Amino acid sequence: MAKNEKNEAAVTPEAESPHRLVEMRLAKMEELGEAVELYPYRYDRTHNSAEARAGEAGLVAAETVVRYPGRIMAKRGTGKTMFVPIQDEWGTLQAYFRKDELGAERFHLVQKLIDIGDWIGVEGTLFRTRTDELTIKVSDFTFLAKAIQPLPEKFHEMSLENKSRRRHLDLAMNLASRERFKRRSAIISDIRAFFAEEEFLEVETPVLQPLYGGATARPFTTHHNALDMTLYLRIADELYLKRLIVGGLERVYEIAKDFRNEGMDRTHNPEFTMLECYAAYWDYHDMMDLTENMLRRLAVRFGDEGKLTYGEHEMDFNQPFRRVRFMDALAGKVGQDLMQTDTAALKELARKHHIEVKPGMGRDKILDEFFSVLVEPELIQHTFVMDHPKELSPLAKAHRKTEGLVERFELFVAGFEVANSFSELNDPREQRRRFVAQKALMDAGDDEAQPIDEDFLAAMEQGMPPTGGMGLGIDRLVMLLVDTANIRDVLLFTHMRPEQ
């Protein structure tokens, strides 16, 4: 390791301030700039680290010259040689610099002026060292970018909050984080391939909407200056996708950013990615089959032959998904059927079970809170919870057999909800009655109730065929498939309070 790097790596807050380290690097930068172009426009790469390793035998035998760029992660050496690990997106290759090969002036740049964290491109042939490390014997190099700020030591040991605030450092220092986000991209690509095979059309709907709807949530509000009108960031794309069904597009889906002005915890973020799909002539049973097939396919491709490990739990998606009715699950926990229980009695029962009832909560929200506290945490194995009370689902079709219920399912895995589906309400008269009921809740103080959307009702009055719909949280699905317990681990950038 060069003297400057030893000094820089050895400093402590008492011995050398971060400001001083920056000053040292700026001084090197001035001297380096006299010899090389500090920020060139491009670099011709012949191989990345994965390609070099995969093609090692042929490249070594042919003495092929490779050109390889990346970030310097360490430096070590004697007076005339330097070994420098260089990291790109796929991994790390070691570079071997020799004073006799480069000349005194060029070697001085590497030894004294180029720092850990800088970007460099090296050119040379591959060989194996005595310690069996694949290495590039450098015949020439190109400086690519100066890192004025030093890389942190042991950043992989930092808190999740610090990694989330400084994702660029997390990705630079932790290859496991990099692979996790690459897997997220692969999962989304595979979902798109699945829906293409099922003959769904991918579409786009507005993020800024004059009315919010399609879910019970508090929206973010903004103002459109040119139109002088209030707009809302979408909480769901459901009502727009249903307009497309009315228009004659029979199978549509969207992978979209949604925004809900709500609290944050390990499974919630105010900005999140949602998949929503709708199919004409289907009901929630068809959507259940679609969802099960998609999850099984993903478990096969990204798990262990259909088996997933999440924390201490193992789930075998080759097995049929369990199906249980919402009210039956609640009855099993409280020892009575809550179907006919009025709001006052529910509040009293909630107190007995230590369930918080906030002011303005109607019977629907109280039932949902019962489920969240008593049932949801135990739904570890993949389970469809079906047939919810009507007041919980203002956009779902009434159950064809049981009065007071709707045809709906939620998919739970590992103790949290992953997907939600309805046999969609397509009677505009009933839809209006449901909207009016939601408006009454809003007037009573429920800031998550939905407003009446007259434009959507007008579209429904043109006739909407029987339709099945499903929404799936991409972020939570990725959490499941990469085995992480916090949503921040699968979001490149999250919203956080400013640092003090």
**Tens of pLDDT, residues 276-310:** 999 999 999 999 999 999 999 999 999 999 999 99
Beta strands 322-325; 383-386: pairing state:
parallel
Distance CA 446, CA 46 (A): 60
Non-local CB neighbours of 454 within 8 Å, separated by 6+ positions: none
Residue 39: C-alpha distances to residues 35, 74, 278, 304, 347 (Å): 12, 21, 50, 45, 66
Residue 111 lies in a domain: yes
Sheet holding 221-224, edge to edge: 208-209, 229-233, 221-224
Residue 332 lies in a domain: no
pLDDT at residue 16 in the model: 59
Residue 159 lies in a domain: no
One domain, residues 146 and 220:
no
One domain, residues 10 and 101:
yes
Name the one residue in this structure whose structure tokens are 């939570």.
476
One domain, residues 142 and 192:
no
One domain, residues 387 and 277:
yes
Distance CA 41, CA 53 (A): 27
User: How is residue 77 written in tokens?
Assistant: 């050496």
Non-local CB neighbours of 360 within 8 Å, separated by 6+ positions: 444, 445, 446
One domain, residues 182 and 313:
yes
One domain, residues 20 and 125:
yes
Single out the residue in 116, 151, 186 at which a domain terminates. Answer: 151
pLDDT at residue 365 in the model: 84
**Total of domains in the chain:** 2
Single out the residue in 151, 186, 211 at which a domain terminates. Answer: 151
pLDDT at residue 263 in the model: 87
One domain, residues 134 and 247:
no
Average of per-residue pLDDT values in the chain: 92
One domain, residues 124 and 206:
no
One domain, residues 190 and 311:
yes
One domain, residues 205 and 132:
no
Query: What separation, in Å, do the N-terminal and C-terminal C-alpha atoms of the chain show?
Result: 36
pLDDT at residue 395 in the model: 72
In this predicted model, what pLDDT tens digit does every residue of 154-189 receive, in sequence order? 776 678 888 899 999 999 999 999 999 999 999 999
Residue 361 lies in a domain: no
Name the one residue in this structure whose structure tokens are 């994702």.
167
One domain, residues 178 and 96:
no
Q: Is the dihedral of CA 284, 286, 290, 293 positive or negative?
A: positive
Q: Which residues constitute the domain of residue 8?
A: 3-151
At 17, give phi and psi (nearest 5°): -80, 155
One domain, residues 290 and 186:
yes
Q: Return the CATH number at 279.
A: 3.30.930.10
pLDDT at residue 79 in the model: 87
Residue 363 lies in a domain: no
pLDDT at residue 156 in the model: 67
Are 177 and 163 spatial neighbours (Cβ–Cβ below 8 Å)? yes
All residue ranges of the chain with pLDDT < 50 are 1-15
Residue 351 lies in a domain: no
pLDDT at residue 13 in the model: 38
Q: Return the CATH number at 13.
A: 2.40.50.140
Residue 354 lies in a domain: no
Residue 425 lies in a domain: yes
